Amino acid sequence: MLHRKTILLASVVAGFVLACGPEDNQNNTGGAGGTGGAGGAGGSGGTIDPAGPKDPDAALKAAIFIGSCLPDDGIRRYLDRFYTRPGGQSDAPDLGQFTKCFEDKANGCQAVEECLGAKADLSGPCMTQCMGNVIVGCDDQLKFYQDCSKLGLVCSETERDCVDPDAPEAPTCDSATFVDVCKEGAPTICVDKEASGPVCADFGLACKEAPFGGVACLGTGATCQATVVSPLDIRYDEAIACEGAAALRVCVNGGEHQVECNTLGTGFSCQTIGASSFCGLSNACSPTNDVTCDGDSVVVCNAGRIDKIDCKSLGFTGCNPSYGVCSPSIYDMAPSP
């Protein structure tokens, strides 16, 4: 429900520091990326995932490709978002809707261009601008290209980003006087212009006043303590406990909510490791574990299941142990962390 979404470019380049690499050296919860001119292949977008739970194998491959080729969140964070952000993110495109596009890819970072129209290199600095339907922008040496058409968007010289051509222009607002409000069941806030989150009832949540102030999509159960990144986001990564084998009780923006695990991923059930619970495939590992290399393979905790994927099978040449990503990628240009 966001008005003319203009958040793609800024969300990728903002705060990126190559010297730190993905996941801040992987202690927190990629130019080189392909060929072609600005934005790569162009044309229509990648295959949109069908509605319903994520395919864990397709999600893992997508996370490896995207996390290796685009800075700077890394494989683990992308995988976590695919499973625990049902409404996407308010400050980033919902890349989780394109995981199936990567299912049969074996051409390294070129796959990210083909599915998302995105690539990054270190040829900056530059001015943010549209080149046809491709948005190009820099954060110091990092240069990022996005073919807006791959995501069903258009490049706007006015907004200097990819925007939804069918969404109405968002009203301007003054953050000093604007009062956050629920509009048509969705939280609406002021970020220079009005911005709206998802319709809360679509996720079994309620749009109402939040414990942290303003409004958000809240769980309809008891009040709980939540870490809030944005009042426009829905996150299922703050677990409270399992409710039997099939469901997980989570804290969503300060209200408890019960999630049926099999709606998030195929074959998911509620898993527990120590004091932590999550929806997943197994409890052989924690989804918060760092991604590591074993020779040319990345070793990833995929929803509690330990998966080892040979980077060469995906069209890369090996694994970068300094960053826990497949190579070559933009991280190979960076100093060791």
pLDDT on residue 321: 96
Instruction: Tell me the Ramachandran region of residue 295: left when phi exceeds 0, alpha when psi lies from -120 to 50, beta otherwise.
Output: left
Backbone angles phi, psi at 312, to 5 degrees: -65, -30
pLDDT on residue 4: 36
The domain ranges of the chain are 8-333
C-alpha to C-alpha distance for 84 and 278, rounded to whole angstroms: 10
pLDDT on residue 20: 44
Residues of the chain with pLDDT under 50: 1-21, 24-45
CA atoms within 13 A on the CB side of 81: 25
CA atoms within 13 A on the CB side of 78: 31
Its pTM stands at: 0.86
C-alpha to C-alpha distance for 266 and 282, rounded to whole angstroms: 12
C-alpha to C-alpha distance for 55 and 39, rounded to whole angstroms: 27
C-alpha to C-alpha distance for 226 and 238, rounded to whole angstroms: 7
Task: Give 191-226 pLDDT, tens digit per residue.
Answer: 888 999 999 999 999 999 999 889 999 999 999 998
C-alpha to C-alpha distance for 265 and 298, rounded to whole angstroms: 21
E-state strands within 25-109 = none
pLDDT on residue 91: 66
pLDDT on residue 336: 57
No. of helices (H) and no. of strands (E), the chain: 5, 21
pLDDT on residue 152: 86
Residues in contact with 202: Cβ distance below 8 Å, sequence separation at least 6, in sequence order: none
pLDDT on residue 166: 87
pLDDT on residue 261: 98
pLDDT on residue 155: 94
C-alpha to C-alpha distance for 270 and 180, rounded to whole angstroms: 35
Q: Which two tokens stand for residue 274?
A: 């120590």
- Average of per-residue pLDDT values in the chain: 86
C-alpha to C-alpha distance for 299 and 56, rounded to whole angstroms: 15
135 burial (CB, 10 Å; 0-12 / 13-18 / 19+) is: buried
